[in-house]
Structure 1
């Protein structure tokens, strides 16, 4: 009987220690959630980092909302996208609404010979924020070898989703390092968190953006540069083909207002509280379950698309 007492005492303290540890973890998680999603870093992004913000893919969706939010905070904005007509329209809207200076650079990010033109357009500007937003996905989920015009799709996805991030960073980062301040916000995707079958190339390119951002942040945070990887789930955009915002699929305006407050607080973020919860659940799912759910969903979307478009 006496010999059982030390064992019982040991188990008691193990149990008490476990409860205390879990309590502290929960308390810390709640504190972090309040700090990030409740308070946020409202003053973290603005002209104090530099006069100008540069946003790629800035005429629609998340890119346009980042451009508007940065202009609202008093930053001058360089809008970079493919269509000069759309650029002119968005530029006029921002000038009229926020009373800030804008510039436009019309380039097609599927090409690789555009960066000298961008470099010339950015020459002499004090750039405090770069938003690498331009991106491309599949038209619909598809098996790798069955993607229509596969070679061209490979080239486009790599140029738009990977090369643009590296090249734009190469152009803007030296000035930030020289001034010891700046923020680079790279828009990845929840599809870059874990592999997504039937969106293979897109998922892989967005994983690259995430890893690139995290590595760059560690390399340059000691030099005053904050690099953020933004990994949203679905947002109501043309790219996602979602028209009506919901609680878990916010409008681009709602998403960006939330995401921009995480700059300086989270170098890797989903940008939105509901997406943060979804990301936590996503990360703890066993691989077999995750792949079963994800593959099944994309097979269903593929079948629906092919049926609608009468493809075999």
Structure 2
């Protein structure tokens, strides 16, 4: 303890109104401990910010080749459009065979033909409506995947509200569909794939989340709750499967141009599916903006910085942040209702 100047610390604390007596070893130890903890608390955001920058811009992610070999398969749900389609294309480019699962067979067939033509890999398709939650559909999925070396599962299937709406006004059908697709569809698909990964002692399960689940989102309450559920479930699953050689990663995102977000123009904060998926696949095993959140990544650079700032300075359940979310979605709802009214008058 000779390296610490105890009288100096006493004077420094006295300047801010904290008076201590350190005339014995125990008091000196407590003072030094308090100083070290205070220094760490002050430096912690800076250290976290450096880790953020390294994770987003410097350190490489894990190669997909760690999870499978030539001839291995990747399964993508919600595969026919947007982010799911991009996952299929970019993973096929890495040499993986692809299983495409979505609702519309014509879109699946067109994408399968595009993938086979471009990347010379095998494809399989399964058209199913996850909102129906039919045993026969999942039985068909199990039969389709039986005997395949499934190295990668992308849980991308999801649904949000058609427009922002209060929980009290949410229709029974929309509420049921969101929970069934986002939660049950993801769980049942994963339960089909996981045993093979455990047996082979390798594999990756990547599940798409949302800032709507990161921070409570009024007027998207059911969707927000479903995505928060996926955060808890995925982190717990990651802990269970890590000793068995299976990597689990929840991918957080803000807005992306897509049919679900109804945003067409990309910006620094709103990437295209292509750019977002490139970032996600390049940061496997890296946390990005999800500092300190187990088995989670926020890979796109602007989303990562936003996530880090929210958790560092506000907290994701901060009342001010929740109220800002509410105001934004109330505005979106008003615009959507006005548009629907105009469209109705044109008919």
TM-score in same-fold range (> 0.5) = yes
The verdict on how the C-alpha distance between 1:78 and 1:289 changes in structure 2, with shifts beyond 3 A counting, is same
Counterpart Cα distance in 1 of 2:66 and 2:124: 16
Find runs of 4+ consecutive structure 1 residues off by over 3 angstroms.
3-6, 9-25
Tell me whether 1:26 sits opposite 2:57 in the alignment. Answer: no
SS at 1:55 equivalent? strand
| Alpha-carbon separation, structure 1, partners of 2:79 and 2:322 | 33
Q: Measure the CA separation in 1 of the matches of 2:225 and 2:282.
A: 27
Could you tell me whether the CA contact under 8 Å between 1:52 and 1:77 is conserved in 2? yes
RMSD over aligned CA atoms reads 2.3
CA 1:223–1:9 in 2, change beyond 3 Å: closer, same or farther? same
CA shift, 1:285, in A, is 2.3
Quote the residue 1:49 is aligned against.
68
How far apart in 2 are the matches of 1:107 and 1:46? Answer: 29
1:176 equivalent to 2:205? Answer: no
Q: Is the 8 A contact 2:286 2:297 kept in 1?
A: no
- Cα distance per residue 1:135-169 (max 9 Å; x no partner): 0001111111223xx11112211111000111011
Q: 1:307 and 1:4, CA in 2 relative to 1: closer, same or farther beyond 3 A?
A: same
Q: Deviations over 1:110-130 (max 9, x none)?
A: 111120011111111000000
Q: Report the counterpart of residue 143 of structure 1 in structure 2.
A: 166
- 5 Å-filtered alignment, 1:1-312, equals 7-8=10-11, 18-19=38-39, 22-23=42-43, 26-27=46-47, 29-41=49-61, 43-46=62-65, 48-50=67-69, 51-113=72-134, 114-147=137-170, 150-266=171-287, 267-283=295-311, 284-285=313-314, 287-310=318-341
Change (3 A) 1:86 1:5: closer
- Count of matched residue positions in the alignment of Structure 1 and Structure 2: 306
Distance 1:157 1:170 in 2: 19
Unaligned 5+ segments in structure 2 are 1-5, 16-31, 288-294, 343-347
**Deviations 1:82-110 (Å, cap 9, x if unpaired)?**
11100010111111111111111111111
Cα deviation per residue 1:195-253 (whole Å; 9 max; x = unaligned)?
11100100000111111100100111111111111110000111101111111100001
Q: Which has the larger radius of gyration?
A: 2
**Match of residue 3 from structure 2:** none
Q: Which shows bigger deviation, 281-290 or 207-216?
A: 281-290
- Please give the per-residue CA displacement for 1:5-43, whole angstroms capped at 9, x wherever unaligned: 6621667977787456644752454245324433321x5
